[in-house]
Amino acid sequence: MAIENGKPIENGKPQSTVKVTGTATVQPTKKPEAATCPLATFDLPYITFYYNQKILLYKTTPEQQFSDIVSKMKDGLAEALGYFYPLAGRLGQDEEKALYVKCDGEEGFEGGVEVLEAVAEGVEVTELAAEGNEAEKNSIIQELVPYTGVMNLEGFKRPLLAIQFTKLKDGIAIGCALNHAVLDGNSTWHFMSVWAELSRTPSSTPTDLPMHNRLAARSTRVPLTLPASPAAHEAVDPNGPAKVLVPRLFHFKADTVSQLKSSMNSSLPPEAKPFSTFQSLSAHIWRAVSRARSLAPTDITAFAVFGDCRSRVDPPMPSSYFGNLIQAIFTGTAAGLLLGSPPSYGAGLLQAAIDAHDSNAIIKRLDEYEGAPKLFHYSDAGMNCVAVGSSPRFKVYEVDFGFGRPERVRSGSNNKFDGMVYLYSGRDGDGSIDVELTLQPEAMEKVEKDEEFLNPVFSAK
């Protein structure tokens, strides 16, 4: 259910630490290259997910006035939207029920990006960025980003991008809500980097322009019969009512990540393909969550990776492809086998599943969806699942709007289900990784006390 600007309503009044002081609409500085942008098959599964939410926290100096910062960033945003013009559009559906983005040219079209300004001057960036006290920080963090509980389906009438600038005691929070039917994580951070670049150096030409030809990746037109409303779709969720969930951030230092990878690889024969950092850390998380859930040995546990397919499709697409070009890659095993085997067993399952997801596997998945389109629920990953929806390869801490690197990057509550994981590179760029994990309260309490997870020292032999 949508909660406007992240503020719950109690007794008819918003209960909030953050006060919204103004709203505006930012338009692109130039006319879009095309009046419409068709959505490809890769985009369609996310129409009934929710807006992706990202929060970036920055420290500023007293000399940097909030109003001046926001003005420059709005100017940079207007320039960036000229290149990433679908973000200033609205969803549309043609007479054959195929989805697209309306970018310009239709009578009565009102595009643009919603921008909110807010204040929370009693809240410190230093406090929100520090490790620990997660329970106390989460409610405040959620108020720093708009469109909580807003389904991508609402992009027919709502902006496809909403941004909230919040003045904090010692800095600024930038909360972004991005329609997941329009772009994935790779495109999100591409846009963010260009926006930051244009805010630092106005009127320059971005060093990495987006590619908007989605038909190059998949040109099939897929008719979709959409639900009457987001509430109607939520009402038929086979996974039942939403569970109480607890998000937590765990920081793994560079030497711990290196040790995990080395330990996972120590039992492999010389000719074997080594496990990547991602596979090693993911297997470590998978085992910890399975322990915390107290699964029976015969219970099946699954792991899902939302893998980037840009280099896997035939022909390959460039990294600058703007849109969704991801697919969920699944593997699974019995909990007893996962936990009773060496840690490298889980890493091996992940590696095999990822390696097998080649262009043929991608086409097969696209054919299946186009033959029987489905409106997913974001929690459809299933019971006992762990899913990773981000990548430590994204250069999130290089998003510099002119006042340095973010102090912390976080995700909002949208699209988080039991077992959802977001991975971010550590702020210092030294190989450390932040693990943002969401679980039910009982399981999370066990993870927080799990020394094998928090301070791993083991051999994969």
Active site residues: 180, 400
Supply the Cα-derived Rg of the chain in whole angstroms: 22
Interstrand relation of 99-102 and 300-308 (parallel, antiparallel or unpaired): unpaired
**Residue 23 and residue 148 in contact, taking contact as beta carbons nearer than 8 Å:** no
- Tokens 């495109």 label which residue? 187
Alpha carbon distances (Å) from 453 to 38, 149, 287, 333, 343:
44, 31, 9, 20, 12
DSSP state string for 25-44:
EE--SS--S-SEEEPPTTTG
- Using the CB atoms, write b or e for 205-233: b if 16+ within 10 Å: ebeeebebebeebbeebbeeebbeebeeb
- Tokens 């500023």 label which residue? 60
* Dist CA 246 CA 243 (whole Å): 10
**Residue 76 and residue 199 in contact, taking contact as beta carbons nearer than 8 Å:** yes
